[in-house]
Structure formats: C-alpha cells, structure tokens
Amino acid sequence: MRWTEKYRPKNFDEIIGNGKQKKEIEAWVKEWKEGNPQPCLLLVGPAGTGKTTIAHVIAREFSDFIELNASDKRSYDIIMNTVGQSATTKSFFTNDNEYKLIILDEIDGIHGTDDRGGTKAIGKIIKESIHPIIMTANDFYSKRLTSIKPKCKVIKIGKVHTNSINALLKRISVKEGIKVDPEAVRALAKGSNGDMRSALNTLQVIAEETKKLEMSDLELVSQKDNTNNIFDSVRRVLKSKSIDKVKNSLRLDEDPTLVLEYIAENIPREYEKPKEIKKAYEMVSEADLYFGRARQTRNYTYWRYASEFMGVGVALSKDDTYKKFTRLTGAMAFSLMGRTKGKRALRDRIAEKIAEKIHVSNSVAISMFPYLEIMFENDDVAYDISTFFDFDEDEIKRFRKKKIPKSVIKRKEKEKQEELANEKKKAKSETGISEKIPSKLESNFNLNLTNKKSTEEITQETEIKKDNSKIIQKSEKTISSESSQKLKGDISDEKKLKEKKYSNEISNDKEENISKDKKSKDKKSKDTKGDSAQKSLFNF
C-alpha cells in the first residue's frame, strides 16, 4: 500500500499547513450542514499541497459524495450523465439538511477531444446544483477557470513549509521503523519544494526495504523537478539579490519573452525608488534587444544574454530588498491586445482603403490618421473625404465622434447632382458647335493644309494618280470583254430556246393531224359496217 494513502489525513486536525485556509473551509462546511447553501468551493494550489485530501476530509462530513478526477473522461455528456442529475435531485431517504458532496478534481486539466464541452457542463452544474460542490485546480491563472472563478469561493492552498514536511517524515519513519539521518530527512523535505506527496513517495522508495535513510541514498533518487511557476520566478527576481537564486528562478517551462513581459509589468509594483525603476527598465530594454536579434538571425544563443539582463540585471537594479507583500499581476500587454483587437481591425481596414485609393503603403496611410482627425472637424471636408474613400459609419467614427449632419449630406448630394447636370449640358453644347462648322471653313482649312505640302509630296501624289488611272483602264477593258462574252452567251441561249419552242410546235401539229386521220378512218369503217348489216338484213 502506498504511504500517501496509508497516512492520508482523516480529519481537519491531521491536515498539515494552511491553517487559515482550513478555518475558512470548516466554516463553509458548517454553513452547509446547518442548511445554508454556499457557493461552490474552488481549491487552487500547486500539486502535492493537499487539495484532494481536503476534499476527501470534507466528504466525510456529508452523507455521500460523487467524484470525477483527472483520470476520467470529462466531456459534456459524461459530466452531465454522471453528475448532472445527482446535482439537482435528493434521495427520498435523506433529511432536508443532508447533502451529497460533488468533487471535481483538477478541472484546469480539462482539454482535448475527450473532454470537449467539459467546462460548459461544469458551469451549468454550478448554476443548477442544490448540493455542495468542491473543485480543485493547480493553475489559478488557467484560461479554463476564467468563467468558473466568478461563480465560486476561491481558496488558495499554499505550499507546505519545509519544517512541516520534515516533521511529517520523521513521524512516519518512526511508525515504519526506519532509521533516518536527520540531515537526510531535512534535505529530502527541502528538495520536495513544498510537495508532501513527492517527499513521502521518495521516502517510501528509498527506505521501505532497507529501513534506513542516509544522505548517500538521496543521490540515487532524483529530486522533484524544481521548475517554477511564472509568478514564483518573477517574485524571486524582484525580491532577491542572490545571483544563483535568480538564475534558478528562471528555470521554467515558459516562453522567455512572456517572462520578460511579466517582469516589466511588475517592476513598479515592487520597486519604489525612481532610480531603481529606471535602471531595471534599462535592463529590460537590453533583454528585449537580444530577443529581437535572436528572432531576426535565428541564433537563439542570444537568449542567454537576454536572460542575464532580465534576471540578474533587474534583480541587482535595487539597492535593498523590500520587506513587503506585493500582489503581482499578469502582463497587461496581452489583455490590452485582446481589448484593442476590434480597434486594430478597424485601423487596418481604413488603412487598406486609403492605400488602395491613393497608392501608398498601409503604414503611410496610418501615419495620416492624425491629420485626418483634424480635417474631419469640418463637416463639409468630412463628407468629401468619407465619400472619396468610401468610409462607413464605424470608419467615420474613428476620426470624429459626431455624425455628419444630414443637412450637409443633402446639400452635398444636391451639389453633386447639379454638377453632373452641368457637365452633361456642356458636353451637348460642344458636340452641337462641332456639327455646325461651315463647309467654306473646311475647304479653306483643307486648302491651307495642301499649300503646306512639299513638292516631293505633290510629285508622289501625281505618280500615284497615274498608276491608279492605268489600273482603272485595265479593269474597264477586262470588265467590257467579260460583259460582251456574257451578252453573246445570253443571245445564243435565247436562240436555242426559240428553236426548241418551234420544234415543239411542229411536233404538236403532227400529232394533231395523225389523230384526225385516225378518227376519219374509224368513221369510215363504222359506215361500211352499217351498210353491210343493212344489206344482210334485207337479203334475209
């Protein structure tokens, strides 16, 4: 069994450190037990300081509890199905003052596709729950806590003091029958950096089998990674004058330019003398130059020099350390960038319109803004400029608070229409005059032009005319021959038609004569047949 579970505190008295925080938590529990609902409790602090232990101690004060920890998937559906219904209902077998505790562990670790919508589900449960909720988180400044913190009672759990960890390790060593070197125990407690869980796990790994702990044993086990929180690093830079401590404080997993922003933001909060502040900002400026060189040259060895200036340089800028509590804040540069995002987008949009219209760069267009602000004080000029660049209402507001008066807009539109009408009239009148130029003037004009021609041009023209006349004569001859041939062809065709017609008439006459002869013969034969019939009848 792990010693962290074996020796986990079972009540508030056994919890080490954070005495003030324990009292606040106990008061919160008491209010709930008396039937007075309280806001959900958010415990924030570094790993290993006892946040989850406190939550389990609180759970013993209530009839039942539900827990979701960092190892569980915590998407919207899972949280609502697991906790959502329980948070809004009570059991028939419990009294009115009996509640179920809901524990949500390490909520700042909700991320990725498996936990999609988890933060939204937690916000909904906080709003609708009739039961007490306790949550834990490691990073107070996590973005995932932004919407949750205002709805909760936030209690910061600090690191456990080295002496408290030292006493705990000695007590457990006695119970486990381990022979320990006091210096080794103290070194182990100090090396844990306020993390009780880390110190206890190290003790178990070293001494569970050998039943002893010496200084030489600590060399075999790596100590807890002393990577710092960004605020811890900034605090050490501003509070210390020890070069080694300052250098160690900058061992953190953060972008060094971000650390520089935090240091620059908090210098005037810690330093009080103007000369100290001046010198510290000079060091910050030097560090920023080296960061710039690193970006431009892709040579990141410059970071080493930047770290010296922003760490040791700033720390040694003060005459003495200040024995006061300073509330550090995040870099305002990032929050200002977030707040001014819309303004910057508007600025860029205006600059693009100006640059496109008058063919300049965006930076030059932006440099014209102060002059435009002065010019926009005049209503007429404001209207003219805004129509020229096609500015909308938001873009006009960038240069003047008041809207352009409607009377000015109407007057300007009317003037524009009149100007267009005058231009049309002028264009029509110009075309009418050009059509009415006398022919005499045209002939004189042409005469003057011809007089100005050189003799060479005249000779060239005469030669061209002769050539043209020859070409015309040839074309006429060819045309006449072609027409005569065509005429002869037409006459022969007509003669052929007449001959054909005459032959047709002769053939028709022949056919008529033949048919007449045939008819007469038929008639004669009929008459002879009749006579013979009469004769035969008479003879009978």
For the annotated binding site for ATP, the residues are: 45-52
Could you give the CA distance from residue 144 to residue 154 in angstroms, rounded to a whole number? 15
CB atoms near residue 358 (< 10 Å)? 12
What are the helix (H) ranges across 129-255? 162-176, 182-191, 196-210, 215-218, 230-239, 243-249
Residues 378-403, buried b or exposed e (16+ Cβ, 10 A)?
ebeebbebbeebebeeebbebbbeee
What kind and span of H or E run contains 475? Answer: helix 455-539
Could you give the CA distance from residue 453 to residue 291 in angstroms, rounded to a whole number? 78
How many Å is the Cα radius of gyration of the chain?
55
Could you give the CA distance from residue 53 to residue 15 in angstroms, rounded to a whole number? 8
Could you give the CA distance from residue 352 to residue 455 in angstroms, rounded to a whole number? 62
Q: 44 and 138 in contact (C-beta within 8 Å)?
A: yes
Taking Cα atoms as reference points, which of 143, 154, 206, 142 lies closest to residue 180?
206
Could you give the CA distance from residue 231 to residue 214 in angstroms, rounded to a whole number? 34
292 by DSSP, 3-state: which? helix
